[in-house]
Amino acid sequence: MSAVFDDKIQTTLADGKLQLAIYTATGRLIEKRRKAIMPEGCPDYQELRTHANAVKRHTIDHLDYYLEEFARNVEAHGGKVVFCKDGQDVADFVLRLAKERGATLIVKSKSMTTEEVDLNERLEHHHLESVETDLGEYIIQLAHERPYHIVAPALHKTREQVADLLTDKLGVARETVIEKQTMIARAVLREKFLSADIGVSGANFLVADSGAVVLVENEGNARLTTSAPKIHIAVAGIEKMIPRAQDLGVFLKLLGRSATGQPLTVYTSFLSGPRRGDEIDGPDEFYVVLLDNGRTKVLADREKRESLYCIRCGACLNHCPVYRKIGGHSFPWIYSGPIGAILTPQFLGVNHEPALPFASSLCGACAEVCPVKIDIPKILLELRSEVKEAEQRQGANRLERIAFRIWAWVMRHPRVYELAGMAAASLAPATDGGAWVRSLRTAIQPTPLRAWLSQRDLPPSPPKSFRQMWRER
Amino acid sequence: MAARVSLFVTCIVDQLFPKAGMAVVEVLERLGFPVDFPEQQTCCGQPAFNSGYREEARQVARHFLDVFRGAEYIVVPSGSCTSMIAHHFADIFQAEPQYLEQARQLAPKVFEFSQFLLEVAGVEDVGARLDEVVTYHDSCHALRELKVKDGPRRLLSHVRGLELREMDAAEECCGFGGTFSVKFAEVSGGMARNKIDSIVRTGASAVVSVDSSCLMQLQGALSRAGLPIRTLHLAEVLASR
């Protein structure tokens, strides 16, 4: 494990306030989802998941076809499609367009894809102001942090912390009532909406047969972002595709319920092209940036391709007991939780943080709640195997490899296995009447045992193994 | 005559919790099943598989398949090991047709202990008695990979004198996760403590599960916290009278 990863985990675990904030916030989201998928309100929840999985599998398996269809339909509506290889490509495109149009201010609605390519930082580097307009994202931007959670970026911030932040950054009087904090942000952001030259959004779905970008949100800021400025740029990963507008119903039902426990989000925008001649609102120019940034590499891997089915609902984060302990910022990339643990090694390589796929008890809660049925534990296991293959090539972690080789040999030799068990038992400290062991007083203290004992007591060694008891009965 | 049952006791029960293994034997024999314990058995290979050492896992899994070749039924006092054999053997032998075929033939014969009682023996009341308030911990692999949820509860409901009190976090992971428990010890310990809070709230004096590894994690944390709550394998509950 890298020192950075370990350090972030320890810091989060040691922060009692933060622990409570994470546990409470995710607990609330778990409860909301649980209610939203109950048979009374959503009788066909499991069928929806099965259907969504089938649609995603089909789309991802035929992504080339749907990308072409989507691009054709966007252009037919007067929009433009821009294919980008990576973050640099995206930034270059936005900067060039801004320069050509004399734009100086960008408003942004929430988008993990733009976070993925550090778009704000890249634009600011060229003195182009880019303001986040989703409340959570705005808070995070003011704090110069990264989103803590795919859906709830400021999940870790208490209202007191937000009050301090607003006072510090905006010079307003300290305000701890959330509604009033919202009004402060709203006043600032309204001005930005009215003077922005370009609106940048993400995309929850790309609809191939309609050439449309679909956005879901609760604050109305995405609708303003995409209609107030003269130019709208939607930045989307190529995997956001679904074939037909009629497939949308299934995904909208699942996304709102899985993410926030809502049958449907407050706003659902279906954006297909710039403002037509007789329409009263909408942008003059409409661009869809389709981003690869490693997705085609994942697409090429049949075993793990299903990672691209993800619709970014965040349910796996909320239900992950590890995420609920270590929080979002411990994860090495912008995507956290179980989905982050499978996306990061695939996008950035297994060496980026080799310990990441191992930071899971493989409990499977993520797969159980995934609305598109991504088998996250299976992919974690694949990635673990890839990490070990990489270590073997690099000659790393030799001791562990040798230990497992010896272990496997012992397990194929029952007599040796039994003797090894007896030897270990004879070394174990004697306890009174089978009491559990609190500490080792032996000269040799193997690391795994020390780690175990740092948290829990050890079982006492029984006088006889099962096989001995079996023989003697 | 009842079918012969081959017991795969698992390495953890063999080495650390033999009483749970003996309880399985007692219950099965009480129900009239002759029990056989193939002495060449060791482990299913899961520790290596979960740690990313596929080749080492395969070596141990091949040994398992050879030892249990020809078994009529295999009963396992662990949801996790059952799932390894019934589901994951097929994953690791993709490139070895001979062992893949053996694994496929064996899979439908492998039963987690409570599954065997309900699905094969067709028994819910094994004639047990235990005067105790208990709570049940759903071990993750039994619950999510084998869909074992109501079975153990049905079996417990017939135990005379026993009261089952559900905890709010019954389906939450105990934090064990094999090598995860020592690689990410603090996270694992934190998960165990969350689980324990939920156990304590029920007022039960014992936690029951079908996996000894979860119980080792929970008992270790209960003992460290100085809480007078014991852990029992389902078989130990069903064997008491």
Query: What ipTM does the predicted assembly reach?
Result: 0.96
Contact across the interface for B191 and A361, Cβ inside 8 Å? yes
Mean pLDDT of B132-160: 98
The structural domains of chain B, with segments of one domain joined by +, span 5-119, 124-239
Quickly count: other Cβ atoms within 10 Å of residue B222's Cβ. 25
pLDDT (tens digit per residue) in A228-253:
999 999 999 999 999 999 999 999 99
What confidence score (pLDDT) does residue A430 get?
66
Query: Which residue does chain A place closest to B173, by CA atoms?
Result: A363
Residue B162 Cα, gap to closest chain A Cα (Å): 25
> What band does A208 get if pLDDT is binned at 50, 70 and 90?
very high
What confidence score (pLDDT) does residue A107 get?
98
pLDDT (tens digit per residue) in A62-81:
999 999 999 999 999 999 99
Please say if the pLDDT value at position A424 is more than 90.
no
Hey, what are A347's tokens?
A: 């996008």
B183 touches chain A (CB under 8 A): yes
Please say if the pLDDT value at position A434 is more than 80.
no
Closest CB from B51, B52, B59 relative to A412 = B59
Closest CB from B45, B53, B176 relative to A361 = B176
Please say if the pLDDT value at position B196 is more than 70.
yes
What confidence score (pLDDT) does residue A204 get?
98
| A221, containing H or E segment | helix A221-227
Higher pLDDT, A280 or B47: B47
Q: What share of chain A is helix, strand, coil (3-state, %, to 5)?
A: 55, 10, 35
Give residue A192's identity as a one-letter amino acid code.
K
Mean pLDDT of B9-36: 97
pLDDT (tens digit per residue) in A215-225:
999 999 999 99
Hey, what are A354's tokens?
A: 């080799």
B38 touches chain A (CB under 8 A): no
Contact across the interface for A458 and B15, Cβ inside 8 Å? no
Is residue A66 within 8 Å of residue A58, measured between CB atoms? no
Q: What is the DSSP letter of A172?
A: P
Distance (Å, rounded) from C-alpha A406 to C-alpha B47? Answer: 13
Contact across the interface for A459 and B17, Cβ inside 8 Å? yes
Closest CB from A322, A386, A466 relative to B13 = A466
A12 touches chain B (CB under 8 A): no
pLDDT (tens digit per residue) in A312-363:
999 999 999 999 999 999 999 999 999 999 999 999 999 999 999 999 999 9
A16 touches chain B (CB under 8 A): no
- Chain B positions touching A412 (Cβ under 8 A) are 42, 59-60, 63
Measured in Å, how far apart are chain B's first and last C-alpha atoms?
Answer: 25
Q: Which residue has the tokens 């796929």?
A: A357
Three-state SS letters, A420-448: HHHHHHHHCCCCHHHCCECCCCCCCCCHH
**Stretch 73-92 of chain B: residues touching chain A, C-beta under 8 Å:** 91
Closest CB from B39, B177, B223 relative to A457 = B223
Domains of chain A (ranges; CATH) run 37-293 (3.40.50.10420), 297-396 (1.10.1060.10), 399-471 (no CATH)
To test the contact with chain B by mutation, choose from A384, A456, A467, A473 the residue with the greatest count of B C-beta atoms within 10 A, namely A456
| B209, containing H or E segment | strand B206-209
pLDDT (tens digit per residue) in A457-466:
999 989 999 9
Is residue A114 within 8 Å of residue A202, measured between CB atoms? yes
Contact across the interface for A459 and B184, Cβ inside 8 Å? no
pLDDT (tens digit per residue) in A366-416:
999 999 999 999 999 999 999 999 999 999 999 999 999 999 999 999 999
Mean pLDDT of A197-214: 98
Is residue A231 within 8 Å of residue A198, measured between CB atoms? yes
What confidence score (pLDDT) does residue A277 get?
85
Please say if the pLDDT value at position B1 is more than 80.
no
Q: Which residues of A2-15 are buried (b: 16+ CB within 10 A; e: fewer)?
A: eeebeebbeebbee
CATH architecture of B124-239: 3-Layer(aba) Sandwich (3.40)
Please say if the pLDDT value at position B126 is more than 90.
yes
Burial zone of A98 (CB within 10 Å; 0-12 exposed, 13-18 middle, 19+ buried): buried
Quickly count: other Cβ atoms within 10 Å of residue A302's Cβ. 8
Is residue A146 within 8 Å of residue A138, measured between CB atoms? no
> What band does A439 get if pLDDT is binned at 50, 70 and 90?
confident
Q: Percentage of chain B with pLDDT > 90?
A: 98
Closest CB from A409, A457, A466 relative to B224 = A457
Mean pLDDT of A49-57: 98
Please say if the pLDDT value at position A138 is more than 90.
yes
Query: Which residue does chain A place closest to B87, by CA atoms?
Result: A378
**Stretch 441-470 of chain A: residues touching chain B, C-beta under 8 Å:** 447-448, 451-452, 454-459, 461-462, 464-470
- Chain B positions touching A409 (Cβ under 8 A) are 59
Higher pLDDT, B105 or B3: B105
| B36, containing H or E segment | strand B35-36
Query: Which residue does chain A place closest to B181, by CA atoms?
Result: A452
Distance (Å, rounded) from C-alpha B52 to C-alpha A386? Answer: 7
Residue A279: φ, ψ to 5°? -85, 150
Give residue A316's identity as a one-letter amino acid code.
C
> What band does A140 get if pLDDT is binned at 50, 70 and 90?
very high
Quickly count: other Cβ atoms within 10 Å of residue A367's Cβ. 21
Distance (Å, rounded) from C-alpha B182 to C-alpha B175? Answer: 10
Cite the DSSP H helix spans in A77-177: 87-101, 112-116, 119-125, 135-142, 159-170
Distance (Å, rounded) from C-alpha B219 to C-alpha B233? Answer: 11
Distance of CA B24 to the CA centre of its chain: 11
pLDDT (tens digit per residue) in A151-193:
999 999 999 999 999 999 999 999 999 999 999 999 999 999 9
pLDDT (tens digit per residue) in A72-123:
999 999 999 999 999 999 999 999 999 999 999 999 999 999 999 999 999 9
Contacts of B97 (CB under 8 A, 6+ apart): none
Hey, what are A190's tokens?
A: 């309204």
What confidence score (pLDDT) does residue A149 get?
98
Higher pLDDT, B105 or A433: B105
Length of chain A: 473
Residue B1 Cα, gap to closest chain A Cα (Å): 23
What confidence score (pLDDT) does residue A432 get?
64
